[in-house]
Amino acid sequence: MYESTDDPYCYPGTTVLKNRRDLRTQEALDRFETAITAQRFDEPLPAGKLTEQHYRQVHRHLFRDVYSWAGEYRTVRISKGDSSFCYPEYIPREMAKLFTGLRRDNNLSGLSAQQFARKAASLLSNLNAIHPFRDGNGRSQMAFITLLAARAGHPLHLARLVPADFMTAMIRSFQGDEEPAGPTPSSTALTEMAAGQTCAVRFGVCTPGRIFIDISLSFSYKT
């Protein structure tokens, strides 16, 4: 659960996000959101050129049935535990900088599996630190990185993703740790998912572990 003070995104006196179904309990919203986004994951993701605008379109595709602000950058400050994410006034600048770098790197094409993993790890870590949307950041990141990986020639095998290891790596990446997690078969790694290797690379998306279980079961992409 994200923390935010005087949050206009939530129903007054609650931490439940305002939603299109007007669901007023977290449990009901979670069920609805999980079901709807699972459907959206099964559909082709928006076509695009892996730009900042494309990234926003991915978020809108996943959450447009749940939130009116899907695809729009948040306007409030949020944190999770001791981690504060990018202040909203800096989000457009930081996102533009990040995607300019991705374009300069030719969208990570022409790299070996390990090179791709390290570059993608850095991209995910920065996306996590920015956390541009009020909710749904983790799922948007995984959808986008899967598109990116497929186009770069390193399609991901999300069923290999281990939620607990992944979550630990995400949190550490928020602190700047993107080093290999160690050569263990259970380690969460882009290299492992991309090429079946076991040299783990840490990267970060701060979101509940169950989300990644949902993704690994339901996510599909089409090029």
Percent of the chain topping pLDDT 90: 62
Which pLDDT score, from 0 to 100, does residue 149 have?
95
21 is a domain residue: no
149 is a domain residue: yes
Which pLDDT score, from 0 to 100, does residue 164 have?
76
Which pLDDT score, from 0 to 100, does residue 154 have?
93
The answer to whether 147 touches 220, Cβ cutoff 8 Å, is: no
The pLDDT mean for the chain works out to: 79
Which pLDDT score, from 0 to 100, does residue 220 have?
26
Which pLDDT score, from 0 to 100, does residue 87 have?
96
- For position 211, which CATH number holds? 1.10.3290.10
Instruction: Give the pLDDT band of residue 160 (cuts 50, 70, 90).
Output: confident
**Between 17 and 209, whose confidence is greater?**
17
Residue 200 main-chain phi, psi, to 5 deg: -80, 140
115 is a domain residue: yes
127 is a domain residue: yes
Asked whether the predicted pLDDT for residue 193 surpasses 60, the reply is: no
Task: From 71, 138, 114, select the one nearest 200 (Cα to Cα).
Answer: 114
18 is a domain residue: no
Which tens digits make up the pLDDT trace of 56-105?
A: 999 999 999 999 999 999 999 999 887 899 999 999 999 999 999 999 99
Helix (H, G, I), strand (E, B) or coil at 219: coil
Which pLDDT score, from 0 to 100, does residue 80 have?
85
Which pLDDT score, from 0 to 100, does residue 131 have?
96
Which pLDDT score, from 0 to 100, does residue 74 have?
98
pTM of structure: 0.78
15 is a domain residue: no
The answer to whether 59 touches 91, Cβ cutoff 8 Å, is: no
Which pLDDT score, from 0 to 100, does residue 218 have?
26
* Domain residue limits at 133: 26-218
Tell me how many domains the chain contains: 1
31 is a domain residue: yes
State the chain's maximal CA–CA distance in angstroms: 51
Asked whether the predicted pLDDT for residue 135 surpasses 90, the reply is: yes
